[in-house]
Structure 1
């Protein structure tokens, strides 16, 4: 006897009431909103007694009075009580009581479920291991329980297993859970899929298809029409599924991570532990699985403090081991995806651990494996598809912090030390050689690609070189550190030398202090003392302009001067005095700076260093402005522009001198109240500043243009210039200029 027919009273009673009302199944379906198929199943005992919402709809369609409705509810309760002991298939797992975050994702899925247009809604929740995809799907199912009175069903498709569940097995399980009798289940997978769609079309169910391995596995399980909802979770994007709502999960926000830790462990809820909680969240990479494990370890060890846990997690070599509790672990979750990789993708995965920066381009990945770029692209796609790598741009990729640690672990296990060292050196050498080629686009003596160069990176213009240097900065800088540690001193010096003129484009960037600190130290290990003087000068520039330590910058410059004087090198003596002058001017000693600049100019002239000479004249003008000698500053700028026309100056130094001369002259004219002249001079400088690209020059010029237009009564024209000045100067240390720009906007009734 079929179990579901053991208590037929509800079906019989419903049939009697329908017939007494003179209604066919189709008429009752139209009157109640409950499908004819569902009514048929209930009358024949093929489904459980309906929930309250469905029962109320049937009562309305039948026109039952309160007494009749009460009788029907009693029968339904007896029916449910009788079937309560029967094991229910595909029951959703227990929801997490301390679920945190994901409000936007839940809202998107709710709206998708309620859209009511087109085919039955399907949402695909995808992302790397440990993001809480299952927890999110179960949370949604719990929140929408009233909307799906015909049942919420959960099925783990075991997509990360060596043998995932077949679509045929999944279909049988779902049909049985939907109370289709074993004898009524179709013979073939295609027929079962059609049968499942037919059942779901007539009911309002929610399916959670967890841990899907492929489109082929999950496609036969999806509803086609009706009001049922399917939520699919997968580490893969499942891009072959059309017409679905894709929810890409990311790590939690910092405040959500902290909230989750506080919900799990009482130690984390102590306000005094806030800094430690923040550190734990950061070390867990804001990954929900890692946070839950960390919180559980803390909660089950009352003697531990949050600081104790921080200390454990701070050891990168032991972090993955620490993030394990019971039978779950972060590394275990990653390993399931790693096991699905092809052999070439496994090699690529572990070798990407060599990359020193946060992200990288596909060309760098190809260098690590030595493979064809197309094969590397396929490997990267495979890693992204399995959630082991994230795409951070059109051609850029990055690891989650914990997955990087897992890749490093696989690298140590799977490759011998000699192979690791050779691969790392090959990568570093390639990065530094490419950086030298890119940087030399900005050097006066180069400004082009070397003859015969055929690297894989597009460096055919200065703009392409700049783009590569900025995108890969963390990587070539990391390679410089590696070369310095490995004793490749001349290579370190060569890279820094290639960056000398390029660094002017990003004069306020703090990383130049490290670059020239390394090159200064490397040059001191080489026999050429002229290189040492040169790189001491560069380091002085970085200390003054980038690290904003003018006192240190002056001391370093004078060390360089002493070495250059001992060598009789007039050019490096000139540069040393120029950098000392910069340091003294920034340190509030303009008179001393002016003297240093003038001595440096004489030495540069004697040495025939026209590029250095032309760079010094604007420094003299800056010092004169600081001394309030504006007319002299204006004349110095005019002399600079005349010298450009008579001296053989290289393109980049010429561009720098032109924008500086025009800009400083405009500032002096503005300070003298000669607003119309200041406006003309600033507008004349603007094209040069745009070409040069340094935000400080552009910000200063927009400020002068805005102030001049204000003074000339052109208030509407002044507004956009002042806004741009505030935007450009916001991250730069030009406090006085920022203040002037904000004051100008305030006078126009705006706040910056």
Structure 2
């Protein structure tokens, strides 16, 4: 028993109090009081000592005696080595408020087995700093002491569980002669000590469940905080705290806390750029801030310029014995050989995320084996799971993977792997896109690809999920001179692109296919893709003047070739551009000329779509009765002419929306409502959000005019939600006006 413990017991007994009564009077737990009296805990903090004195009703003299006992005990402890002392807490710690709060609540819940928290995540996220911060915040709740042990889980030879047990038992002042000889005996001893004392263990850098499991308390009020790059999914009954990178505001706050240059308000934009280039990773931010702070002549913009060089970024994020790449390398060294190959080859992926099938293509492995490899990377924090069967790199880990790829594979192997991946992506994109092409509309016979594309919905889902990857592959094929492949992909996307008509990436797709087609001998391909590029300039890039010029270029080339069908399509795209530019008269003339040529060429799809364009132009000119006549004629033509399903559906939606708009213009609201409601199923089937928005908006306008404001409100809200991510300024303005008119 210590001098302090003996004196505390004398004072409690003199006051006629049991431990439980003193606990109630002071607010200090009975277990903590027991630990202090028996000398099983370290000297109390000033706040705890004051609470005990108040509970005992001590006068100044008695309190002074107790304080002297505390000081004497501290002096006696100075000469003894303190094992497993926690490291110094970080003074400029920022963020993690939610994680800290969750761990505090878990630690102090006060029921069930002894609490254990596992903090896991990739290298550099600040797992150790978070655990030490928590230990510092909870020091008064654990009078039995706070103990820290680095388990060296990322070393080639992690600390053995038996060695860890001996260290902890010695730190807990268990007599060395009584420490058990086997790991099971030592583990049992540790659990017994922790059951009787309120201690906090920080078990840092755990390598496996087997290593850490014998070190955990089983019962009592002690807390164990385990940090690991692995999830340690085999540990039962623990609270798992998955760390993510800091938020932008937290990243900026950390940089400002470290470097004076970052605290200058005028450097805010540069600080934001540094945080982004560091991937909001605490280790990278700390290194970047330290480099700035130790170089007073540097500005934040100077640091941004250094970090902006992707090839040198990891080298820049290194100072002293700290380095981002060094931290990643510790995890990389633990990978199996197949997982190392997979890790470096994933640097070829052009998009931000990917599915296991792409991993299989890169390595030539079976998809199940590739999925196992991805799980290994996730488990070591070298990859993040971004959704069901979707994975992504942290930006800095992607750079590290690229470094490993350049170091570990010759240039020829890298080039062959990259081409195999790009070809697979583009060939799959062609198969998926052709589901929406009038000449295809199904899966090719004998298809045995790695991804399921048995329906149009599956094809659409794959094209959207892998969009950044097949787009990246298309750009690579364009640079590499695979001109016919570029044209084939763009052609397969022609009708599919209508489903996402306002997506700006189509401008890039058709700019590349136009340029590629110009390098091929078939000039008919060239004029077709000039037309597609006109559509993309008008509808996707929202540059109708450019779209009209490109369309008339296509018209001139089509005239030179004698290609009547493409002349008609060029006039269609020119009409669309002029109508978007606010010149429906020029559009009307272009549509009419195009319709004549389509009819002459026997292009039924183009003819009916041009007739629907004529009706739209008439409506915009205020000639609503003429527009209705044209719409009815167009519907008859659509019934009489053999059309491909998707062009027919597009014409059906356009004609009904135009009829509804014309009825609105004539003030025939009941008929406008009927036509718009009839258009709704076709708009849903077509899948373009702009058509759906216009349909719901027309329904809402008609309902409001017919005296049903609540029903109108629901429809207009739907329209506004659909328009939120679309650039339809006219429809957005109209929706706002209708909302204001609602009671």
Fold-level similarity (TM above 0.5): yes
Contact 1:357 1:475 in 2 (8 A): yes
> Of residues 655, 668, 675 in structure 1, which corresponds to 2:649?
655
d(CA) in 1 for partners of 2:256 and 2:28? 45
The equivalent of 1:725 in structure 2 is 719
Q: 1:35 to 1:183 in 2, by over 3 A?
A: farther
The equivalent of 1:302 in structure 2 is 296
d(CA) in 2 for partners of 1:253 and 1:393? 20
1:674 is the counterpart of 2:668: yes
Tell me the secondary structure at the aligned position of residue 207 of structure 1: strand
The equivalent of 1:258 in structure 2 is 252
Measure how far apart 1:233 and its partner are. 1.0
d(CA) in 2 for partners of 1:225 and 1:591? 84
Q: 1:572 to 1:179 in 2, by over 3 A?
A: same
1:414 is the counterpart of 2:405: no
d(CA) in 2 for partners of 1:255 and 1:47? 40
Q: 1:310 to 1:39 in 2, by over 3 A?
A: closer
> Of residues 302, 306, 313 in structure 2, which corresponds to 1:312?
306
The equivalent of 2:637 in structure 1 is 643
Which range moves more in the overlay, 70-79 or 248-257? Answer: 70-79
What is the alpha-carbon root mean square deviation over aligned residues?
2.2
Contiguous gaps of at least 5 residues in structure 1: none
> Of residues 170, 185, 188 in structure 1, which corresponds to 2:182?
188
Which range moves more in the overlay, 254-263 or 43-52? Answer: 43-52
Tell me the secondary structure at the aligned position of residue 311 of structure 2: helix
Contact 1:35 1:202 in 2 (8 A): no
Contact 1:28 1:62 in 2 (8 A): yes
The equivalent of 1:628 in structure 2 is 622
Measure how far apart 1:33 and its partner are. 8.7
Measure how far apart 1:56 and its partner are. 6.3
The equivalent of 1:499 in structure 2 is 493
> Of residues 275, 284, 288 in structure 2, which corresponds to 1:290?
284
d(CA) in 1 for partners of 2:93 and 2:38? 41
TM-score (norm 1): 0.95
> Of residues 538, 546, 549 in structure 1, which corresponds to 2:543?
549
Measure how far apart 1:63 and its partner are. 7.9
1:360-509, aligned counterparts within 5 Å? 360-509=354-503
Contact 1:51 1:150 in 2 (8 A): no
d(CA) in 2 for partners of 1:99 and 1:52? 24
Measure how far apart 1:273 and its partner are. 1.6
Q: 1:592 to 1:121 in 2, by over 3 A?
A: same
> Of residues 116, 119, 122 in structure 2, which corresponds to 1:122?
116
The equivalent of 2:100 in structure 1 is 106
Contact 1:215 1:240 in 2 (8 A): yes
Q: 1:26 to 1:567 in 2, by over 3 A?
A: closer
d(CA) in 2 for partners of 1:55 and 1:178? 22
* Number of residues of Structure 1 aligned to a counterpart in Structure 2: 743
The equivalent of 1:612 in structure 2 is 606
Measure how far apart 1:110 and its partner are. 1.6
Tell me the secondary structure at the aligned position of residue 246 of structure 1: strand
d(CA) in 2 for partners of 1:662 and 1:434? 35
The equivalent of 1:241 in structure 2 is 235
Measure how far apart 1:72 and its partner are. 3.5
The equivalent of 2:580 in structure 1 is 586
Q: 1:19 to 1:734 in 2, by over 3 A?
A: closer
> Of residues 680, 691, 697 in structure 2, which corresponds to 1:686?
680
Measure how far apart 1:114 and its partner are. 2.3
Contact 1:148 1:206 in 2 (8 A): yes
Q: 1:28 to 1:554 in 2, by over 3 A?
A: closer
Contact 1:345 1:379 in 2 (8 A): yes
Q: 1:672 to 1:24 in 2, by over 3 A?
A: closer
The equivalent of 2:534 in structure 1 is 540
d(CA) in 2 for partners of 1:729 and 1:283? 33
The equivalent of 1:159 in structure 2 is 153
Q: 1:71 to 1:567 in 2, by over 3 A?
A: same
Measure how far apart 1:588 and its partner are. 1.6
The equivalent of 2:736 in structure 1 is 742
d(CA) in 1 for partners of 2:64 and 2:106? 36
Contiguous gaps of at least 5 residues in structure 2: none
Contact 2:42 2:145 in 1 (8 A): no
The equivalent of 1:281 in structure 2 is 275
TM-score (norm 2): 0.96
d(CA) in 1 for partners of 2:276 and 2:235? 35
